[in-house]
Structure formats: structure tokens, C-alpha cells
Amino acid sequence: QLAAVPRVTLGTGRQLSVLEVRAYKRWQDVSMRRMEMISDFCERRFLSEVDYLVCVDVDMEFRDHVGVEILTPLFGTLHPGFYGSSREAFTYERRPQSQAYIPKDEGDFYYLGAFFGGSVQEVQRLTRACHQAMMVDQAN
């Protein structure tokens, strides 16, 4: 739905590129394939075009300024629904056979998957590892 992308006035030398991605009917498939798509776009375009990549879900709402201070090699965002909660409240993967398994006595933070980023190299490394782990879990 490229026509739905709003026109944005950008400064001199800046450009907005809209990249089409495959549509999936189920949100679970969208979530699973997101890491693969980001990793692929890193390799095909972003490594040669930009230094940093910020990945944000389309329905995220920013309520304050977010500046360049977030541009570190790799950053994540604490999930607001679990902020300040004990690890017992976190909905970590608890099945030992999963690649994402976290034992009950481990894990200090619960991150939001809808807002992360960093250098293109680090984002590609992260998203490739996440995608590969999901594929292993799916095969099992």
C-alpha cells in the first residue's frame, strides 16, 4: 500500500525510501519473517547505503523526542508492559528445546521487539541469528 505512505518534507540531501515487503495473513508469520527481511535488506542495500538502522513497527507511537543518542552499535528497548517487573513476570520462552529458552532463574530485562537498531553490521548479525534460531525451532 505504497499510496498510504505520507509525504514527508526532508532536509537537503535526505531521502525517504519505501521498501515493499511480502504480505502475510497471520501476524505470527509477519513476526517470524521480519528478522529474515531485515537481514536480507541489510545485505542487499543498507550495508552500502547507511551506517545505522532503526527498526520500528509501523504502529509505534512516539510521545517524546528520540535523538541520535540511541545510535550505538546495538540498542534495544525495554518493554513498557514489563518495565519494573520481576523476572517471574516475564513471558520468556521456557521450553528447554527452544533456541530462545531462558531458564526461570535467569534474565534481568524483557525487551520490546518493535523498536531496536544499531550499526547495520550489528543489526544484520542480530536479525540473522534470530531468524536462524526461529527456523531451527520451526523445524523441531
Residue 58 annotated in ligand binding: yes
Q: In the chain, how long is the greatest CA-to-CA distance? A: 52
Q: 93 near 130, Cβ under 8 Å? A: no
Residue 65 annotated in ligand binding: no
Residue 51 annotated in ligand binding: no
Kindly state the helix (H) or strand (E) to which residue 118 belongs, with its residue range: strand 111-119
Residue 57 annotated in ligand binding: yes
Q: Which residues make beta-bridge pairs with 118?
A: 53, 74
In one letter, which amino acid is 84? Answer: G
Which residues, in sequence order, are CB contacts of 3 under 8 Å at separation 6+?
none
Residue 91 annotated in ligand binding: yes
- Spatial distance between the Cα atoms of 134 and 117, rounded to a whole number of angstroms: 19
Annotated binding site for UDP-N-acetyl-alpha-D-galactosamine: 57-59
Annotated binding site: 57-59, 79, 91
Annotated binding site for Mn(2+): 57, 59
